[in-house]
A and B are shown apart, each in its own frame.
Chain A
């Protein structure tokens, strides 16, 4: 019984500690999470450019074949 109580109290203690320190991964949360937006747009931009490069290569191939 005593042990259970101790475990229970420890559990509560853990919970409260967890609540106090939920702010993890602070880097992406800073400044109203603007860095997340930057990351998303950067990835979209990178993807679009990769796509453009592949189109460019396809056109080059066609030009060679002709």
Chain B
């Protein structure tokens, strides 16, 4: 049974939906039931960062081995990660509208995540602008390392240095013990694992389809 993790992804996400909508959550003004968005909005970002981390690992592997396979994996991880990033931006924007009263505000965390997305769009554009496979792979891999450093700066470092509307302002960029009680952890951690497994599955399909395409050419 080599597909067990795909079934696990399904079960975890099914639990996320059922538990996420039904299990008691802390009662807080302004947030009210939207606090349940935590199970869906935040895992999008965790998933994106995880895929980008895998991507940079394969980029480094590609630099040391010149294996085009590693380059393909790095590329498809970014392709899939970007989708989750866009979903994170859109869901965050909707959530902000009904809690902060605006779709977008010049908040350090929001801008940081938007800039990160642009950095990774640039990675994909850079790739498509070159023809020679070996050269493309190498330049893209070097750029990918730079992009991941930018991600750490814009999502991991800067939000901790400034005040932010986003939960965990001026300290932890995501949440702290006040925002996430034990009841929510029961759903939140399975949700993160479930979304990450699903994203790896999709990236895996992308990689296999791309390999088939290359064989045909």
Residues of A that sit less than 8 Å from B by CB: 34-35, 37-38, 41-42, 45-46, 49, 52-53, 55-56, 59, 62-63, 66
Residues A53 and B21 in contact, CB atoms below 8 Å apart: no
Q: Which of B17, B205, B215 contacts A38 (CB 8 A)?
A: B17
Number of A-B pairs, beta carbon distance below 8 Å: 41
Residues A59 and B22 in contact, CB atoms below 8 Å apart: no
Q: Which of B6, B201, B208 contacts A63 (CB 8 A)?
A: B208
CB neighbors of A among B131-187 (8 A) = none
Residues A38 and B22 in contact, CB atoms below 8 Å apart: yes
CB neighbors of A among B185-217 (8 A) = 201-202, 205, 208-209, 212, 215
Measured CB to CB, the nearest residue on chain B to A49 is B10
25 CB < 8 A contacts A-B:
A34-B21, A35-B22, A37-B21, A38-B17, A38-B18, A38-B22, A41-B17, A42-B18, A45-B17, A49-B6, A49-B9, A49-B10, A52-B6, A52-B202, A52-B205, A53-B6, A55-B205, A56-B201, A59-B208, A59-B209, A59-B212, A62-B212, A63-B212, A66-B212, A66-B215
